[in-house]
């Protein structure tokens, strides 16, 4: 692979996803460049301009985001997730740059509570929190740039792996077992989520970069839904003891989305089926790390 023509710029390279993705794409022969909030604030167009002039990337993946729905600063969701992402597109046009691919990471939370078992791209989004709304806002505006830039909007469903921040559900659960805690406080128990492996996510992004796809909004999912209490049962088995589950009212969200399981039909029709390790294996890796 000619590195001079395969320069990938990852905004948010120090994120959980960014760390894995940069290593994975590097192993595939890409020349990787990245920014952090400190090196390039995407809410500041001057920062973006400086970065793009220096790197002149062939591919761009934007992972910069306020990612936790529980984040306290409502305006920050929109400054970073909506305006920040669009700033990247604006600067590309201002500089007359047209990368082979611009991938904007959105989120499956844009769907909200749809009342259906499987969520596909034909559904009209109804985000139920500020995080989802900020991502849908980004999507809506970004589509106006489809005719000028080679954009793919991705909607990742939940994923996890070794090294994910303990503010997220799966690392929190695993950490309780690693410390052999007697009990764990959780919020809504009657929820189902996809929890794909980070390796699956990396391979999907790799294939999207290599594709001719553009002007599309695509789920990144496998359709593998897991119930929260089933995760506890699996961890009981891995750790060799049973933890007591308690409902903590502070963690119960009135706008909780009950089921987030995606249809991978469109994704796999475009890039082929992507295999991944079993969920229990991912949990075991995290427990033993």
- The pLDDT value recorded for residue 33 is 98
In angstroms, the CA 245 to CA 192 distance is: 17
DSSP secondary structure, 128-182, as one string:
-SHHHHHHHHHHHHHGGGTTTS-EEEEEE--EE-TT--TTSHHHHHHHHHHTT-S
Highest CATH level, class, for 3-159+196-221+262-276: alpha beta
Q: Cα torsion at 181, 187, 190, 194 (round to 10°)?
A: -80
Tens of pLDDT, residues 141-200: 999 999 999 999 999 999 999 999 998 999 999 999 999 999 999 988 888 999 999 999
Q: Which residues pair with 110 in a beta bridge?
A: none
* Catalytic residue flag (residue 241): no
- The pLDDT value recorded for residue 62 is 98
Tens of pLDDT, residues 12-69: 999 999 999 999 999 999 999 999 999 999 999 999 999 999 999 999 999 999 876 6
- The pLDDT value recorded for residue 4 is 63
Q: What's the average model confidence in pLDDT over 224-228?
A: 94
Tens of pLDDT, residues 76-120: 999 999 999 999 999 999 999 999 999 999 999 999 988 888 999
Q: Which of 20, 30, 130, 131 is catalytic?
A: 131
- The pLDDT value recorded for residue 198 is 98
Enter the pTM of the model.
0.94
Flag whether pLDDT at 256 surpasses 80. no
- The pLDDT value recorded for residue 2 is 55
């Amino acid at each position: 692979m000619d590195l001079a023509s395969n320069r990938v710029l990852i905004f948010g390279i120090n994120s959980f996803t960014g760390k894995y993705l940069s290593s994975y794409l590097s192993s595939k022969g890409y020349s990787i460049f990245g920014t952090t909030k400190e090196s390039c604030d995407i809410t500041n167009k001057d920062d973006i301009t400086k970065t793009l002039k220096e790197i002149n990337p062939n591919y761009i993946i934007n992972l910069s985001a306020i990612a936790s729905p529980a984040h306290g600063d409502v305006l920050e969701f929109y400054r970073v997730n909506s305006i920040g992402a669009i700033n990247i597109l604006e600067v590309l046009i201002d500089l007359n740059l047209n990368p082979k691919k611009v991938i904007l990471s959105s989120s499956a939370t844009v769907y909200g509570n749809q009342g259906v078992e499987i969520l596909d791209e034909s559904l009209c989004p109804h985000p139920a929190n500020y995080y989802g709304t900020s991502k849908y806002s980004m999507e809506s505006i970004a589509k106006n740039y489809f005719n000028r830039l080679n954009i793919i909007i991705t909607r990742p469903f939940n994923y996890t792996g070794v090294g994910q921040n303990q503010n997220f559900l799966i690392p929190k659960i695993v950490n309780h077992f690693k410390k052999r805690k007697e009990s764990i406080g959780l919020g809504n128990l009657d929820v189902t989520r996809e929890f794909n492996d980070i390796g699956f996510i990396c391979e999907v992004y790799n294939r999207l970069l290599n594709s001719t796809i553009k002007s599309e909004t695509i789920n990144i999912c496998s359709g593998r839904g897991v119930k929260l209490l089933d995760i506890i049962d699996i961890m009981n088995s891995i750790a060799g003891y049973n933890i007591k589950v308690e409902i903590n009212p502070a963690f119960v969200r009135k706008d909780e989305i009950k089921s987030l399981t995606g249809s991978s039909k469109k994704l796999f029709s475009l890039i082929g089926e992507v295999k991944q390790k079993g969920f229990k294996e991912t949990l075991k890796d995290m427990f033993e790390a």
